[in-house]
Amino acid sequence: MNANSPFNRSTDGDERVRRVLILGGGTAGWMAALALRRFLPAVEVTVAHSSEVPTIGVGEATTASLPPFLHDDLALDRGEFYRQVTPSWKLGIRFLWGGAGETANAQHEFPYPFQSTLECPDAFARTNAFYTFDDRASGSLFSELMRRHRAPVVRMPDGRLHLEEAFGYHFDTTTLNVHLQRVAADRGVRIVDAKFTEVVPDELGRGVAAVRLEDGRVLDADLFFDSSGFASLLIGRALGEPFVSFADSLFNDRAVVGTWSRDDDIWPYTTAETMDSGWCWRIDLPKRVSRGYVFSSAFASDEEAEAELRRKNPLITGPVRFVPFRSGRYERTWVKNVVAVGNASGFVEPLESTGLHMAMETIVAVCRSLIDTDRRIVPAMCDVVNCFLGEMWEDVRAFLAVHFRFNRRADTSYWRHCREATHLAAAEPLVEFYRRVGPTQIGHTFLPRQSVFGYRGYLTLLAGQQVETDFCYAMSPGETEVWRQHIARVSAVADASFPVGEALRLVAEGKAAPNGTAS
């Protein structure tokens, strides 16, 4: 590498990354710190954050990829995690959404793993997404557990307790961050608690030289992670990276959030309910329920949204909070010696809980890149990482757009606008193909290899929303019998499951584990 390269950070001629500064804590920042310490142990890691800056903390849900990342990649002990963070499980999403001809009480489920392409050996000539069912979701174990409000902890025939680990998490973000910060400190991450004031730019155009804090300290590094949330202090404000808006696909830009203390069963899934000007989540935590109305300010005022939320959720009696946001991403995630992670890199409509997933993908991609380049910031590698993450962001945008284009449950001005004006972006050719030839497996060629939800996710969504296709079939008598036997087997497993509260206690005590070998 040329000695005058803008990526040559060190004064002694060694351009390897030796010090990383993460600006901002938050879940994304702490996950980045833990990943760097685990996979690049020679790198010194500092997190500069202010404990005076509050966490958004509305109750977080994740994809099914987060638990393996936390426990396998970051090596967070499961028992300690369950004891300290007190999460609950997300087996999928229950959509109070709506397709053509459905009644007011219609719903469909989006469980993990996705059920629309489950295959029963010797059962069907095609994958089951081609068939019409009286009860489409009943072929999935997690659907059965969702319907019964049961946990993914099952007593096996030999008496062992098995944790069926294909779920996402629900957790309180503030509680999670306290735990991650404690682990980070134990693993040698330097933590500086002070407010940010300004960026010290690099005079040679290499990006950021240092950040100045309110107490006068100046912290420099070879590589910076921008984990400053929606403010995007480094990637957006300091480096001026262009922002790519998703406003033509995703119209919501605000959320109003309320909670109540729980005294009933813990629901092991996220609910997504159609509202007049958007939709409403329900996230169940062990001690409280989080309810958030995500809406478009072009169709409802704050007062109207709050009134609808309270009218449909009378258990919310305390104050509510409003959270403004914009859907989109920065054009590049890695610019010179700055990597944006979490909300600092982009944010989309929270319908499918992709926020922490994209943070995870960013962290993994950057760590792998630094390992392969011997901790050097190589422009060609930055370009590849940016292309990879950019395609993934666009895939998330397209997947979410499908939700809004085909929800026919409500006939309000907002939903008419969604059905008429939602730009499907990258999903347009896939949806057109589906409508012409049905859920054939060859349709996966329309998706990028790194699609977050994959072709199975798209098929589950399209089938659940009853998007019209000419290729649907009725079961033959033989297929019907094999399907009945499959459902009976799934139901038997679900019958051996535990109530959610009891199962959470068993995992926290180390009595249930993914391999069924817990004591």
Checking if the pLDDT of 445 tops 60, the result is yes
- In percent, how much of the chain has pLDDT > 90? 72
Residue 192: strand pairing partners = 48
- Worst-scoring range by mean pLDDT, 130-139, 181-190, 500-509? 130-139
H/E element, 183: helix 173-186
Q: What is the mean pLDDT of residues 465-475?
A: 83
Q: What is the mean pLDDT of residues 16-42?
A: 97
Fold of 19-87+171-245+327-396: FAD/NAD(P)-binding domain (3.50.50)
pLDDT, the chain, mean: 89
Q: What is the DSSP letter of 114?
A: P
CA distance 4 to 205: 11
CA-based torsion, 390, 392, 394, 396: positive or negative: negative
User: Do 516 and 162 contact (CB within 8 A), yes or no?
Assistant: yes
- Worst-scoring range by mean pLDDT, 165-169, 446-450, 477-481? 477-481
Closest CA to 33 of 218, 201, 197, 182: 182
CA-based torsion, 505, 506, 509, 512: positive or negative: negative
Checking if the pLDDT of 409 tops 60, the result is yes
| H runs (alpha helix) in 373-444 | 379-405, 413-421, 428-437
Checking if the pLDDT of 245 tops 70, the result is yes
Print the SS3 string covering 143-203: HHHHHHCEEEEEECCCCCEEECCCCEEEECHHHHHHHHHHHHHHCCCEEEECCEEEEEECC
- In the numeric block, which tokens belong to residue 475? 């079961």
Closest CA to 356 of 367, 366, 345, 371: 345
pLDDT band at 516 (very low <50, low <70, confident <90, very high): low
Which DSSP string do the residues of 276-339 spell out, in sequence order? Answer: TTEEEEEEE-SSEEEEEEEE-TTT--HHHHHHHHHHH-TT--S--EEEE---EEES-SEETTEE
Checking if the pLDDT of 203 tops 90, the result is no
Closest CA to 322 of 304, 339, 299: 304
Q: What is residue 123's predicted lDDT score, i.e. its pLDDT? A: 61
Closest CA to 93 of 58, 127, 137, 135: 137
User: Do 168 and 114 contact (CB within 8 A), yes or no?
Assistant: no
User: Do 48 and 194 contact (CB within 8 A), yes or no?
Assistant: yes
- Worst-scoring range by mean pLDDT, 99-108, 189-198, 389-398? 99-108
Q: What is residue 300's predicted lDDT score, i.e. its pLDDT? A: 98
- In percent, how much of the chain has pLDDT > 70? 90
CATH number for the domain running over 254-324: 3.30.9.100
**Full-prediction pTM beyond 0.85?**
yes
CA–centroid distance for 119 within its chain: 26
Checking if the pLDDT of 519 tops 60, the result is no
Find all residues with CB under 8 Å of 64, minimum gap 6, and list them. Answer: 112, 113, 166, 167, 168
Identity of the residue numbered 227: S
Checking if the pLDDT of 251 tops 60, the result is yes
pLDDT in tens, 91-112: 999 999 876 554 444 567 777 6
481 against 17, higher pLDDT? 17
Checking if the pLDDT of 433 tops 90, the result is yes
Q: What is residue 11's predicted lDDT score, i.e. its pLDDT? A: 41
Highest mean pLDDT range out of 38-47, 434-443, 456-465? 38-47
Q: What is residue 4's predicted lDDT score, i.e. its pLDDT? A: 33
CA distance 267 to 265: 6
User: Do 17 and 9 contact (CB within 8 A), yes or no?
Assistant: yes
Q: What is residue 1's predicted lDDT score, i.e. its pLDDT? A: 30
Q: What is the DSSP letter of 71?
A: I
Instruction: Please give the positions annotated as active site.
Output: 90
CA distance 497 to 91: 13
H/E element, 28: helix 26-39
Q: What is residue 399's predicted lDDT score, i.e. its pLDDT? A: 96
CA–centroid distance for 437 within its chain: 30
- Worst-scoring range by mean pLDDT, 233-242, 289-298, 483-492? 483-492
Annotated domain spans of the chain: 19-87+171-245+327-396, 113-169+400-498, 254-324
Q: What is residue 3's predicted lDDT score, i.e. its pLDDT? A: 34
pLDDT in tens, 118-158: 555 456 777 777 776 555 445 788 988 999 999 999 998 88
User: Do 36 and 20 contact (CB within 8 A), yes or no?
Assistant: yes
- Worst-scoring range by mean pLDDT, 189-193, 432-436, 456-460? 456-460
